[in-house]
Amino acid sequence: MNLTETLISSEPIERTSFLHINRDKIQLPNGNIHERIVIRHPGAAAILAITEDNKVVLVRQWRHAVGCEMLEIPAGKLDAGEAPETCAMRELGEETPYTAERMELIHTFFSAPGFCDEKMYIFRAINIRVGSELNPDEDEFVETELLTKEDVRQAIKSGKICDAKTIIALQTWLSEQ
């Protein structure tokens, strides 16, 4: 069965500094014409950072869209032309007091493919240490928290950790020996 939807036209609805919202007219596999609203996003990088004493580095921040604080792995959007690994290094340093020797890609996925093309890259930070001289963006207020594997299990079970990128990264960590 052919599942391809063919783009006929795309009309911009809204443009922000990094998001583009379009109304796309498409032809369905059965020939019918339909409309889709699509959010174009530059992509994002997220970081699984584990300390020498085997604690994960998380950030607590307010998420306006869902109206609550969330506990997440450090993450942020790619700047124009920025490589995902470069973004991951920058975001770790901006959102936490940590830096890393390098980043290792562990997962890539689309965050909400039903309406958005954001591609998320999850990296493992290799050889982290305290020493970042970067600061959060001016509109970003974050607190760093360190959790053990047992703390993470309980936080996921209780719903205190509830966003996809964080759960994906933490499940990877929890499954390791």
Q: Please tell me the predicted confidence (pLDDT) of residue 132.
A: 85
Q: Please tell me the predicted confidence (pLDDT) of residue 177.
A: 72
| Gap between the Cα atoms of 47 and 92, Å rounded | 7
Terminal-to-terminal C-alpha distance of the chain: 42
Q: What are the catalytic residues?
A: 138
CA distances from 2 to 6, 22, 99, 115 (A): 11, 25, 47, 21
Q: Please tell me the predicted confidence (pLDDT) of residue 109.
A: 97
Q: Please tell me the predicted confidence (pLDDT) of residue 136.
A: 73
pLDDT (tens digit, 9 = 90+) per residue, 72-97?
Answer: 999 999 999 999 999 999 999 999 99
In contact, 133 and 114? CB cutoff 8 Å: no
Phi and psi based region of residue 127 (left: phi greater than 0; alpha: psi -120 to 50; beta: remaining): left
| Gap between the Cα atoms of 144 and 95, Å rounded | 8
Q: Domain 44-174 belongs to what topology?
A: Nucleoside Triphosphate Pyrophosphohydrolase (3.90.79)
DSSP H or E stretch at residue 87: helix 84-95
Q: State pTM to two decimals.
A: 0.93
Positions of the chain with pLDDT under 50: none
3-class secondary structure, 167: helix
Give exposure, 17-55, as e/b (b: 16+ Cβ within 10 Å).
Answer: eeebebeeebeeeeeeeeeeebeebbbbbbbbbbeeeeb
In contact, 149 and 54? CB cutoff 8 Å: yes
